[in-house]
Structure 1
């Protein structure tokens, strides 16, 4: 509760990781608005027009954009990514890293090595801003891949996965 007895207001924005988060279960004392959209990425965040200026905003996206990226266009993507995050109106913004994913039957970790580099570049670009960066990447990994014990289907998080996110957000927000 804030000093007027109202619940703190949070808006969640991003892809399926946001859309499928049972916010009422993990944050029962918060007013939560969910603008997560499965399958979405940077273009969705860039075109987001809801006025969230009276909210603390939680953002997570990027995994759906991975296959459009390579070493040549990564820096341009990072520029657009950070610009899109900074454009979302908020009382305070929390940005989760891009999460690892498991996409290869041969148990390759290449995609997650690429995401790690991408996350580092985003983090570096955010320096000097007021964005609170929540890096849970390593906590979601097991042997270089998204830990299957934290997922429903090797991509979408289960309750254990969301507990990691919830704990990180609660700690960062002080609520």
Structure 2
């Protein structure tokens, strides 16, 4: 008798980057649940209560929290961030880095330098866990800023941007 392989089930959890992702287009062969919530960040992740224990979880959040962070509270944020990710029940968890963004008032790259540092601290804190870290930060950048060819508004991704994310997930999951 032939063995029928079960179609993988994924839970995409996080902010608007997850909420606006047309999962059925990028992953037509997978069962995808979308728990993305526009405008949300750490507080949403800390209160996330959906039962995703039978899913592979793909998580991305943090860009909505950036402007509330500074040198004095970043370590506490990283601690809470990693704890929230680890609390999401799943068969396996894939965590995207915090994506770059562009400031609307100038062409500064300061926010993305800060996000790079924050991502590095999160990555270091994840060492020793089973979380698979998906670092697409540099692939989304152009001259220190979120590549305008990958966005619709200097923050949210377009189809080209989501193709980068989909490729990273497929490569990591290896299905």
Q: Report the TM-score when normalising by structure 1.
A: 0.97
- Inter-partner Cα distance in structure 2 for 1:4 and 1:78: 42
Deviates more, 1:103-112 or 1:156-165: 103-112
- Inter-partner Cα distance in structure 1 for 2:75 and 2:131: 19
CA shift for structure 1 position 136: 0.2
Equivalenced residues, count: 173
CA shift for structure 1 position 17: 0.1
Which residue number corresponds to residue 167 of structure 2? 167
Which residue number corresponds to residue 66 of structure 1? 66
Which residue number corresponds to residue 81 of structure 2? 81
- Paired residue secondary structure (1:35): strand
Unaligned runs of 5+ in 1: none
Which residue number corresponds to residue 158 of structure 1? 158
- Inter-partner Cα distance in structure 2 for 1:6 and 1:139: 32
Which residue number corresponds to residue 99 of structure 1? 99
When the two chains are superposed, the root-mean-square deviation of aligned CA atoms in Å is: 0.8
List 4+ stretches of structure 1 deviating above 2 A.
3-6
Which residue number corresponds to residue 9 of structure 2? 9
Deviation per residue, 1:107-151 (Å, 9 max, x gap): 000000000000000000000000000000000000000000000
Unaligned runs of 5+ in 2: none
- Inter-partner Cα distance in structure 2 for 1:67 and 1:106: 15
Which residue number corresponds to residue 33 of structure 2? 33
Deviates more, 1:100-109 or 1:158-167: 100-109
